[in-house]
């Protein structure tokens, strides 16, 4: 009987981890709205935040709080593609560009096709490891990550 009691919390934790990782894989989003709604200022702990959202993309420290910042991205929408009307841009072959000061600079490769969808900022009091405040901002339109 005591062995079954010990397995209960372990199974619950494993099920929670599977559900969280499943959400991320299905939606490509690390900000589950149900978990955002669960955050209670003055009650939710830092460990719960890390369990629900994982490691933050940014961490800032102030004298009074630890700030976790999570960002959610959406894929950029695909443009209509018609191979018959495709024209090759001559600049795409040059490895250099001219900047505003008329200097030749190397061209920066675009590495992501993502649009910033939302930002979750969580304020944690270092002494108690409890959330003192949070805010979720949903972004409209294309934003640069």
pLDDT band at 115 (very low <50, low <70, confident <90, very high): confident
CB 118 within 8 A of CB 137: yes
Can you give the residue range of the structural domain that contains 126?
Answer: 28-81+112-138
119 in any annotated domain:
yes
98 in any annotated domain:
no
pLDDT of residue 145: 46
The whole-model pTM stands at 0.57
44 in any annotated domain:
yes
Average pLDDT, the chain: 76
| Burial class for 74, CB neighbours closer than 10 Å (0-12, 13-18, 19+) | middle
118 in any annotated domain:
yes
pLDDT of residue 6: 64
- The total number of structural domains that make up the chain: 1
Looking up residue 75, the CATH number of its domain turns out to be: 3.30.1450
- Asked whether the predicted pLDDT for residue 25 surpasses 50, the reply is no
102 in any annotated domain:
no
55 in any annotated domain:
yes
More confident residue, 102 or 77: 102
pLDDT of residue 120: 95
């Amino acid at each position: 009987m005591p062995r079954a009691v010990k397995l209960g919390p372990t199974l619950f934790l494993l099920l929670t981890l599977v559900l969280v990782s499943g959400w991320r894989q299905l939606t490509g989003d690390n900000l589950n709205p149900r978990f955002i709604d669960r955050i209670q200022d003055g009650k939710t702990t830092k460990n719960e935040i890390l369990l629900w959202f994982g490691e933050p993309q940014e961490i800032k420290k102030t004298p009074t709080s630890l700030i976790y910042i999570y960002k959610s991205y959406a894929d950029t929408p695909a443009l209509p593609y018609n191979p018959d009307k495709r024209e090759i841009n001559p600049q795409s072959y040059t490895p250099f560009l001219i900047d505003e000061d008329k200097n030749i600079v190397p061209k920066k490769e675009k590495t992501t096709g993502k649009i910033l969808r939302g930002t979750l900022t969580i304020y944690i009091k270092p002494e108690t490891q409890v959330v003192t405040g949070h805010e979720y901002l949903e972004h409209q339109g294309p934003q640069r990550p």
